[in-house]
Amino acid sequence: MGHEVFDKDLVASVVRELHIADIDHATIGEVLLVASRLEQLTGIPFIRMDQGSPGLPANRVGIEAEKAALDRGVGAQYPAADGVPELKKELSRFVKAFIDIDISPRSCIPTTGSVAASFGAFAISTQCKPGKNKVLFIDPGFPIQKSQLRIIGVKWEQFDIYHFRGEALRDKLESYLREGDIAAIVYSNPNNPAWICLEDSELAVIGELATRYDVIVLEDMAYFCMDFRQDLGHPWQPPYPPTVARYTDNYILMLSSSKIFSYAGQRMAAACVSDKLFDTCYPALAERYADAGVFGQTFVASILYMITSGCTASTQYGYAEMLRASTDGELDFASDVREYARRAERMKRIFTDNGFHIVYDYDVTRPVGDGFFFTIGYGNMSGGELLRELLYYGVSSISLETTGSRQAGVRACTSRMREELYPVMEERMKAFRADHPL
C-alpha cells in the first residue's frame, strides 16, 4: 500500500468528469482544473506548482495611480490606439534606465498583456515579406504562443536548446535560417519554464544572424531583472540585463507588468519596437492592409487595434506610474520579487533531498539561478508520468513535453508556495520517495 494523498481512482474519475483526454499531456489549464476539483471534493490542500500566477500583492503604486485616473474620468473615453502619452514616455525612460537601450516613446506600444503583444507580433512579422512565413521557437517555451499560431494558421519550427548552448547555438540556428522561410525567432529570457538565461555571447549570435537573414527577434522579458545571480534592477547603472537589442535592430522587446509589479489581473504590458524596424516600409504590408506599409503604423493601427482596440485606459496610467517610480529610484521592484528566489531555493532542496534532480541545471558558464520557475525530474520517469504521479501526492505541475522540451521532467512554479506548506511538501515528497525507490 502506497502513501498517496489522493486515491488513484478518485483522480481518474475527476479527469473523466472534466473531459481531459490525456492527463500525462495536460495543459496548464487542465492541471489547474484537476487540482482545484480534488481540493474541492476532499478539502485537502494542493501544493500548486502549475500556473505561473503572481504570489505577491499587486503593487500599491499602480493601484493608487489607477484609482486616481478613474476618478479623473478616463473611463469615459477610448484611449489612443498607440497608448496614452504618459505611458509611452515612461516605457522609453524605463528601457533606457534599466537596459541602457534607446527606444523612442512612439515605438513603445502598450498591449493587453504580453500575450496580445506576441499575437500581434506573430501576425505582422510573418506578413512582412512573401515566403518568410514561419516562426522559430528556441524552446522550451510558453505553450500559449504556439496556440496563437494555430489561430492565425502560421507554421513554426522548434528546437530544445538543452544541447545547443554557447557556440553550438550558431550552427543550430543557421540550419533553420538558411532555408529562408523563417520570419521571426521567439524566446523568453529568463526562460519560462526552465529558468535558464541566455548569456550575452548567445544573444550576440542571435542578433548577428537575425540581421544577416533579415529575421525579427521577439524577446519576451516577462521575468525582467529576475536573474537574481546578479544585482540587476538599479536604474541608470550597470549591470544591465542581457538583451538581443544590443546586437541587432530587428527586435521587439515584450515587457510585462504581471510579474515584476504583480499586476497580472490588469493585463498590461508593452511591445517596445526598435526605432529602425518601426520605420521600415514593407510593400507586402501596404498591399495587404491598404496603408503605407510602415511596420510600426501597421502594427498599431491595423493589427493590435483589431485584437483588443487599445488597452484599458486607467491601467495604462497605473503602469506608467509604476514605471516612473522605478526609473526615478522610488520603487525597487527587483527587491520585491526576490521572494521567488527564496522560495525556489527551499522547494528545490526538498525535491533534491528526496531523490529528484534539476533538469535544466546549467547555463553556459554557471548553474541556473533560483527564481519564478524550475524544472525537476525523477529517475527515468517521463514528464507525463511524473506529472500524474505527483498529482496523487497533492502536487500539481506541468509536463516539460508541453513546452517544446525534449527532456523528461516537469515545470515547477514557486509563486503560490506558502510558509505553512513547506512541512506538508516535505512530508509528501518523503512519501513519494518511499513509494518510488530509485
The DSSP line for 302-346 is IIIHHHHSS--HHHHHHHHHHHHHHHTTS--HHHHTTHHHHHHHH
Average pLDDT over residues 109-117: 98
Q: Give residue 275's pLDDT.
A: 98
Q: Rounded to two decimals, what is the model's pTM?
A: 0.96
Q: Give residue 2's pLDDT.
A: 86
CATH number of 8-56+336-435: 3.90.1150.100
- 254: β partners: 220, 271
Q: Using CA atoms, how far apart are residues 154 and 286, in angstroms rounded to an integer?
A: 20
Q: Give residue 51's pLDDT.
A: 87
Is the pLDDT assigned to residue 182 strictly greater than 90?
yes
pLDDT tens-digit readout, 29-60: 999 999 999 999 999 999 999 988 999 999 99
* Assigned fold of 60-327: Aspartate Aminotransferase; domain 2 (3.40.640)
In the chain, where the domains are located: 8-56+336-435, 60-327
Is the pLDDT assigned to residue 339 strictly greater than 70?
yes
**Grid coordinates in use for 172?**
543550430
CB atoms within 10 A of CB 21: 9
- Tell me the average pLDDT of the chain: 97
pLDDT tens-digit readout, 362-413: 999 899 999 999 999 999 999 999 999 999 999 999 999 999 999 999 999 9
Is the pLDDT assigned to residue 206 strictly greater than 80?
yes
Is the pLDDT assigned to residue 1 strictly greater than 70?
no
Q: Using CA atoms, how far apart are residues 380 and 138, in angstroms rounded to an integer?
A: 25
pLDDT tens-digit readout, 224-257: 999 999 999 999 999 999 999 999 999 999 999 9
